[in-house]
Amino acid sequence: MNPQDYIAEHIKNLPRSGIRDFFAIVSEMPQAISLGIGEPDFITPWKIREASIFALEKGKTSYTDNRGLLSLRKEISSYVSSFFGPEYDPQSEILVTVGVSEAIDIALRAILNPGDKVLYHEPCYVSYAPSVSLAFGEAIPVGTIPEQSFSLDPEAFEKAWEPGCKILLLNFPTNPTGGTADKQKLERLAKFAVAKDLIVISDEIYAELTYDGEHCSIVNLPGMKERTILLHGFSKGFAMTGFRVGFACGPDWLIEAMMKIHQYCMMCAPILSQEAAIEALRHGTEDVMRMREQYQKRRNFIVRRFNQMGLSCHLPRGSFYAFPNVLSLGMNEVDFCHRLLREQEVAVVPGTSFGPHGQGHVRASFSTSYDKLVEAADRMERFVESIHAETDNVSAVV
């Protein structure tokens, strides 16, 4: 029996996540400081955890409505209208999912026919290209660049468009670059989406973690609500990764199509997590602001240190990732990460894990305590100095 004969072809061709392999190594190194993980270092605020415990005590251990608890959908509706702008009907235009991860998957599967194309900006979240190919679509990545702080470039999308494009997939603020999108650029992109009749999937999971200026969502622009699926969740802003809960808001016909998949593959998000999410939306905003303030301090610190050590780094306007360029050290991003881990026990992620446009960069997450971040910066500085010393020795010999 050859096991490979039993695995579907499109799964065989799916690459393993580079991040996973790298962190298998990190987990064996007790002294390592990891700036690699894309999750908050904060424990979920107590009142949110307590809501989940209380629900368990009351015996809430059942399935829920496939769409999610109506009480949660009502909270989502009012939170979304106050934070993002548009109003959604809790009965027909909101679906509670198992994280934004599930929402991305079922949105793509609900819309794409084999060969349909998806435009998205890159470097991007590791799951976008695999999710497109699992839905039998074709990925069309469009580069964002450091000279523009990896922000939205609508012209690049216009140039990359080709017949067969059906979806525009956006993520601002962006994982891994912290790039954001300003209103003017979004307006131009919205006109492009209408002109090319595209469905927009807007993953706004880092929306609350916007540091400079207000977060602006494409869904709030004219003509967009009727063609946009807004994805959001609790993992990042509310520090609730382990609860596995997110949601999609969109036109009823798109939500209904996603529901068809969700009801068979997932049934519903866990009820205890949904109860926690209700508390998060009702009373969690102050905690989110408190965590955001900490991230902002850490961001300012780590970006300054990267630039001081000669690794040019733009100021990320959102998310909790810095994305410095390491090419000045005369090595590529993968070698940088491996040597840094081996020699100074600091883990950062090669930019190419987020697509080829991440070349020359590494992702360093600042969702790590300030003290650890200081220690990591000192270690990285020692590493950079040692590389310069090596280079000086070589040139002296030559």
- Nearest to ligand PLP of 309, 349 (CB atom): 349
Count of residues near ligand PLP by CB under 6 A:
13
The angle subtended at Cα 217 by Cα 119 and Cα 163, nearest 5°, is 20
Is residue 38 a contact residue for ligand PLP (CB under 6 A)? yes
Contact pick of 48, 80, 95, 100 for ligand PLP (by CB under 6 A): 100
- Nearest to ligand PLP of 77, 177 (CB atom): 177
Instruction: State the nearest-atom distance from the C-beta of 396 to ligand PLP, in Å.
Output: 45
Q: Give the end-to-end CA distance of the chain in Å, rounded to a whole number.
A: 58
Is residue 258 a contact residue for ligand PLP (CB under 6 A)? no
Task: Give me the residue whose beta carbon is nearest to ligand PLP.
Answer: 99
Is residue 367 a contact residue for ligand PLP (CB under 6 A)? no
Closest by CA position to 194, among listed 153, 229, 167, 224:
224
- Nearest to ligand PLP of 64, 177 (CB atom): 177
Q: What is the DSSP string of 226-247?
A: GGEEEEEESTTTT--GGG--EE
Pairing, β 33-34 against β 346-347: parallel
**CA–CA distance, 201 with 370 (Å, rounded to integer):** 34
Is residue 99 a contact residue for ligand PLP (CB under 6 A)? yes
Q: Which stretch binds ligand PLP (CB under 6 A): 81-89, 97-105, 188-196, 216-224?
A: 97-105
Q: Which stretch binds ligand PLP (CB under 6 A): 60-68, 93-101, 284-292, 306-314?
A: 93-101
Is residue 34 a contact residue for ligand PLP (CB under 6 A)? no
Report yes or no: 239 and 40 within 8 Å, Cβ to Cβ: yes
**DSSP conformational letter for 62:** S
Residues 124-143 that bind ligand PLP (CB under 6 A): 125
Pairing, β 346-347 against β 349-350: unpaired
Is residue 351 a contact residue for ligand PLP (CB under 6 A)? no
Write the CB contacts of 301 (distance below 8 Å, at least 6 apart in sequence).
Answer: 366, 370, 373, 374, 377
Strand-pairing partners, residue 140, are 119
Is residue 344 a contact residue for ligand PLP (CB under 6 A)? no
Can you give the binding site for ligand PLP, defined by CB under 6 A?
38, 99-101, 125, 171, 175, 203, 205, 233, 235, 241, 246
